[in-house]
């Protein structure tokens, strides 16, 4: 059983890698961004509230995000483990997640950080915006999101590093190349078992 978090700046490829890693580890991938976007598209009350923040590149408030994650982690498909993508993003959310997991006598096994240079990330995200037409991917919003990441999320990284469960992987390169790097980094962790696809 693996309980894992993938963390990294906007545009570092977290979503793509999360899908691939979850498949190899045999656990469900939980993306807060995907859940928010589904709610925005469905114009649910959560989506309407979340959109105001997302369009400005701001983090959705903890009260909204925490409830969503708590509800998602209570579903039966996470019993065999999970891979969280996009949460926690602040130290307050780390504490909340700790409490959720402690309630079920659980804890995170590993935190994987994808690293990348800001200039590369801006170029990637502007390219993605052209392809997908995402309203939250303008240059000013992208830079704001990167600034927020450095201000707030890096404290999360430091907290997990202090617990000795942080593994860093270079997120620049082809998708397969990064996946191989990630799997190579976590293969040595006794707390994680990779499902053989052979």
- Annotated catalytic residues are 14, 89, 128, 134, 145
DSSP three-state, residue 135: coil
Sign of CA dihedral 135, 169, 81, 175: positive
Taking a C-beta distance cutoff of 8 angstroms, is the pair 22, 29 a contact? yes
| Residue written as token pair 């707030």 | 152
Could you say which DSSP state residue 187 is in? Answer: H
Q: Using CA atoms, how far apart are residues 3 and 71, in angstroms rounded to an integer? A: 16
Q: Which residues pair with 2 in a beta bridge?
A: 81
Give the rounded distance of the alpha carbon of 197 from its chain centre.
Answer: 24
- H helix or E strand, kind and range, residue 154: helix 154-162
Distances (CA, A) of 122 to 84, 125, 139, 174: 23, 5, 7, 17
Which two three-digit tokens encode residue 160? 């997990």
């Amino acid at each position: 059983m693996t309980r894992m978090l993938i963390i990294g700046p906007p545009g570092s490829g977290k979503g793509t890698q999360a899908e691939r890693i979850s498949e190899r580890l045999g656990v469900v991938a939980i993306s807060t961004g995907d859940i928010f976007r589904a709610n925005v598209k469905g114009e649910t009350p959560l989506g309407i509230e979340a959109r105001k923040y997302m369009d400005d590149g701001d983090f959705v408030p903890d009260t909204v995000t925490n409830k969503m994650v708590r509800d998602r982690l209570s579903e039966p498909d996470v019993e065999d483990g999970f891979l969280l993508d996009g949460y926690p993003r602040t130290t307050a959310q780390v504490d909340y997640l700790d409490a959720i997991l402690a309630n079920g006598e659980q804890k995170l096994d590993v935190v994987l950080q994808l690293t990348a240079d800001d200039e590369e990330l801006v170029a990637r995200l502007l390219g993605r915006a052209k392809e997908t037409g995402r309203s939250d991917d303008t240059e000013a919003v992208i830079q704001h999101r990167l600034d927020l990441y450095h201000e707030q999320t890096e404290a999360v990284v430091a907290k997990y590093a202090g617990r000795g469960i942080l593994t860093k992987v270079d997120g620049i390169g082809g998708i397969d190349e990064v996946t191989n790097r990630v799997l190579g980094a976590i293969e040595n962790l006794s707390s994680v078992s990779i499902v053989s696809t052979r």
